[in-house]
Amino acid sequence: MTYIITKIYESRAGMNAEVCPCDSTETGEGKITLLFSISHWYEEKLSVGDIINEEDYGRYSEISALCNAIARAEKMLATSDFSRTKLISRITHYGIGREYAEKAADIMVEKGYINEEEQTKRIARYFCLKKYWGKKRIAAELMGRGYDRKAIFKALDSVTPEEYSYALNRVVSQKFKTPPADRRERENRIAALSRLGYSLNEILPVIGGEDE
């Protein structure tokens, strides 16, 4: 089967070529848009009316799939941080093949758009000092976002013991302005602080009240 380029236009993602099978140019059936990066576009030197054989069409389709994955990745990273794993998952959610999603994510890493060590350190510090979370909850959050375990451990250690202590004392002073009235209330407070990611050894010295 052969294809013909019927339209060419530029978008923010790159150069777009609308193509359809040569035997359906009048009806427009089977029309598809292929996306090219600017560099790919000038390499291929395509124009409206060009006839594309099946082999070249397959090659252009692969180029387009990768360009679409890269464009999607750049758009998402422009507004939020993503781990490599989470970015791949989000790209495939848009119907892009995993092979191309992985290649796009690797390109984002190579370009420095994804730096998991820097991202995890920034996120850990934010959740500690702004949300007053402890290590366990921060670790769970970072794991849920798909970050590498080594990066997570480094991020947790980048927050100082004094900062974790500050966060715990801050949340205790905000939520529990008076000592617990009884053992049950004390246990409820311990449970609440545990859900924020603090260990029993961290909680007991600041919770107030006495064991019965």
> 74-105: per-residue pLDDT in tens?
999 999 999 999 999 999 999 999 999 999 99
Three-state DSSP state, 149: helix
Q: Computed over its alpha carbons, how large is the radius of gyration of the chain? A: 27
CB-neighbour burial class of residue 204 (10 A; exposed 0-12, middle 13-18, buried 19+): middle
- Those residues with Cβ within 8 angstroms of residue 54's Cβ, 6 or more apart along the chain or in another chain: 1, 2
Q: Of the candidates 144, 61, 142, 96, which has an alpha carbon nearest to the alpha carbon of residue 104?
A: 96
Residue 47: both structure tokens together: 């124009």
Residue 186 scores a pLDDT above 90:
yes
Q: What is the mean pLDDT of residues 49-70?
A: 95
pTM across the whole model = 0.80
pLDDT, residue 23, reads 82
**Segment (H or E) for 34:** strand 32-36
* Angstrom distance (rounded) from CA 161 to CA 176: 22
Of 152, 156, 131, the closest CA to residue 142 belongs to 152
Residue matched to tokens 């947790």: 156
- Rounded Cα distance between 140 and 137, Å, is 5
- What's the pLDDT score for residue 22? 87
pLDDT above 60 (res 212): no
Residue type, 81: D
Q: Are residues 34 and 61 in contact, defined by beta-carbon separation less than 8 angstroms?
A: yes
